[in-house]
Amino acid sequence: MFEGLSERLSGVFDRLTRQGALSEADVATALREVRVALLEADVSLPVARDFIAKVQEKATGQAVTKSVTPGQQVVKIVNDELTAMLAGDDAEAGRLRVDSPPAPILMVGLQGSGKTTTTAKIAKRLTEREGKRVLMASLDVNRPAAMEQLGILGMRTGVDVLPIVKGQDPIAIARRAKQQATMGGYDVYLLDTAGRLHIDQELMAQVESVRDVAKPHETLLVVDGLTGQDAVNVATEFDGRIGVTGVVLTRMDGDGRGGAALSMRAVTGKPIKFVATGEKLDALEEFHPARIAGRILGM
């Protein structure tokens, strides 16, 4: 269904010679194809636009090296720039700030994005790889059986879960989690929240209050890797209101192109901490910018 960028550009550049520098016109022609490739991969339009402008500047006038065709040259410039943008300059990208116990981690995102599953995956990872004592708490009083879901995942991972007290609101549960984490000598506590729309004023205000109670060291925005153009709205609103420190992209085991990765990175400026690749609780990987860049470009 999708045509990779190389194939797109090979057609465009068949007519061109191998010599000289990339002219402005060559670059413009190529970038029209790049734009389509990015949009087909679900990169949000304004993000694609900015990206193209940046590449345009870099590519124009660049000498076409003898060994490559202009098409390959443009692909390389685009690929390098995309990888660099996805990577950012945050040296700590793949690490969570969980040093001063009990370190709170707040999980937020749209409905069904994968927050509860990812909460359990991160808890498992911190427990097994970093030897942390972890507590998980469900603040989801909306979705039917959300608390039971996290409870079951706690049993499967062997991670402690804050006992369910019916009738408590999310802010009260956050307080109780903080207290339990402090008293119980936990290194980290994860707060799983209900899915919410970024335009739901009431629920957004509620999660702000939760943030103010917990003062999270990490606030992770959990985003479906299959997200389309709405990614830019989601990132803007969640980051603007709550202040995210990182992103987790889920469902990257699918055949989606993952353009949301670039949108998230561009809008929030925050690192993509993890990529989730399945329903199993060990399906959580570190983020590899070059891999995602290749995937977005269909290469």
The answer to whether the beta carbons of residues 39 and 298 sit under 8 Å apart is no
Given 44, 79, 83, 116, the residue binding Mg ion (CB under 5 A): 116
- Establish if 167 lies at the interface with other proteins (CB under 8 A): no
| Radius of gyration, CA atoms only, the chain | 22
Name the nearest CA neighbour of 190 among 122, 130, 144, 95: 122
Given 5, 41, 106, 146, the residue binding ligand GTP (CB under 6 A): 146
Helix axis angle for 70-87 and 289-297, nearest 10°, is 130
Which of Mg ion, ligand GTP, other proteins, none is residue 148 near (CB under 5 to 8 Å by kind)?
other proteins
* DSSP letters for 45-93: HHHHHHHHHHHHHHHTTPBPPTTS-HHHHHHHHHHHHHHHHHHTT-TTT
- Establish if 285 lies at the interface with ligand GTP (CB under 6 A): no
Minimum Å gap between C-beta 216 and Mg ion is 17
Given 65, 111, 179, 182, the residue binding ligand GTP (CB under 6 A): 111
Which of ligand GTP, other proteins, Mg ion, none is residue 224 near (CB under 5 to 8 Å by kind)?
other proteins
Question: Can you say whether the dihedral through the CA atoms of 275, 245, 173, 136 is positive or negative?
Answer: positive
* DSSP letters for 126-188: HHHHH---EEEEE---SSTTHHHHHHHHHHHHT-EEPPP-TT--HHHHHHHHHHHHHHTT-SE
Listed ranges 19-27, 139-147, 165-173, 209-217: which one lies at the site for ligand GTP (CB under 6 A): 139-147
Which of ligand GTP, Mg ion, other proteins, none is residue 153 near (CB under 5 to 8 Å by kind)?
other proteins
Binding mask 176-215 for other proteins (x = CB under 8 A): ---------------------xxx----------------
Helix H or strand E segment including 274: strand 272-276
**Contacts (CB under 6 A) with ligand GTP, residues 163-222:** 194-195, 197
**Calpha distance 104→185 (Å, rounded):** 13
- Establish if 255 lies at the interface with other proteins (CB under 8 A): yes
**Calpha distance 107→99 (Å, rounded):** 18
Binding mask 61-100 for other proteins (x = CB under 8 A): ----------------------------------------
**Calpha distance 157→163 (Å, rounded):** 16
Residues that bind other proteins (CB under 8 A): 1, 36, 39-42, 44-45, 110-114, 142-146, 148-149, 151-153, 156, 197-199, 224, 226-230, 233-234, 251, 253-257, 259-260, 279
